[in-house]
A and B are shown apart, each in its own frame.
Chain A
Amino acid sequence: MAFDSLAALLAMGGHAPYVWPAWGVTAALLIGSAWHARAERRQRIRELKRRNRRERSAAKRDAPGDFSEREADDA
């Protein structure tokens, strides 16, 4: 440990106004992008589920059968 106390750590030997903003912005951007990626993924899944539900009910209404015949070329 290079510091005696938590207070000393926070003070950074007088360089707190430089060290903490630099670390803070970095952390904020990293955490922000990770959080955004997670939210984006959930959003995608949610959209897909909603779409599946919608097309199933539409298919039920129109004619029996599965959704989508547009799987022409998977993979």
Chain B
Amino acid sequence: MWAFIHKLGSPKWFYAIAMRLQPWFWTAALVLLAVGSVWGLAFAPADYQQGNSFRIIYVHVPAAILAQSCFIALAAAALVFLVWKIKVADMAAAVIAPFGAAMTFVALFSGSVWGVPTWGTWWIWDARLTSMLIQLFLYLGVIALRGAFLSRDSGARAASVLALVGVVNIPIIKYSVEWWNTLHQPATFTLTERPAMPPEMWLPLLIMVLGFYCFFIALTLMRTCSEILKRESAKRWVRELADEAPGGKR
């Protein structure tokens, strides 16, 4: 187990394994997203209350879930990098952060668009919405901090520390934001109270969530490999690999 982790930590090994796994995840993502989208957009029944605006759920919820998972993945990668000094973990962190921020943005955007027909407003200061917004700021902070250092190594480690501090804070933030909202007034709208969905509504949702996860994994593997090519460009195996690799001819 130990040995395996350390092997995986070596860029060469990680590259080999990741490149092998990658096509499978891309395929899975493509299939799942295609099926889920068609099902969700065209075949799932309309909600009896919200009508067709309900179909936003099929992008909103996967994005929201993934946004939170990404932060946990980011913090895990940061921890691995700081404690075991495994460079691949940092390369993964570097590519996870922007994608997590993008997913947070998607959740916020789709949610506020959804809010107009259902709540009649783009934005309310609800606990969940607010903590999502704060999460976006945390992502931006991690990205900005990494970019602000001239030396890549320092930027990497600083961003890792911030990701860890942030992940300690996320539960505290969630808890406090909920406390804060119930303090002033009962929440006007809730996200959780809704009638149980029939399977033909939640099955496509499940498919979409899985599709988003596969997409995330495929993208992370691919971009981490590109990052390896960049950072390890002086190594012989990378150069030999470049000679053999197809594409890039221009």
- Interface, chain A (partner B; CB < 8 A): 1-3, 9, 12-15, 18-19, 21-23, 25-26, 29-30, 33-34, 37-38, 40-49, 51-52, 67-68, 70-71, 74-75
Contact = CB atoms under 8 A, between A and B. Distances in A.
Given A23-B56, A30-B215, A68 B236 contact: yes
Nearest to A53: B243
Contacts of A41: 222, 225-226, 229
A35 to B, nearest CB: 11
Most buried by A among B37, B45, B233, B235: B235
Given A1-B42, A40-B223, A74-B237, A18 B117 contact: yes
B233 A22 contact: no
A74 B240 CA distance: 12
B28 interface: no
A23 B233 contact: no
Contacts, number: 127
A2 B226 contact: no
Interface stretch (B78-86, B105-113, B158-166, B185-193): B105-113
Contacts of B243: 49, 52
A21 B250 CA distance: 36
A18 B116 contact: yes
B41 A23 contact: yes
B52 A13 contact: yes
Contacts of A49: 242-243, 245, 248-249
Interface string B213-250: 00100010011011001100111111101110101111
Given A22-B59, A37-B223, A75-B13, A47 B233 contact: yes
A22 B110 CA distance: 5
Contacts of A52: 239, 242-243
B55 interface: yes
Given A42-B247, A49-B243, 6 more contacts: A23-B37, A23-B56, A37-B222, A40-B223, A44-B226, A45-B245
A45 B222 contact: no
Contacts of A9: 41-42
A1 B53 CA distance: 16
Contacts of B245: 45, 49
Interface string B105-146: 110011001101100000000000000000000000000000
Contacts of B51: 13-15
B194 to A, nearest CB: 17
B12 interface: yes
A44 B56 contact: no
B113 A21 contact: yes
A42 B247 CA distance: 7
Given A2-B45, A19-B53, A26-B59, A48 B12 contact: no
Interface string B43-55: 1111000011101
Most buried by A among B46, B59, B117, B237: B59
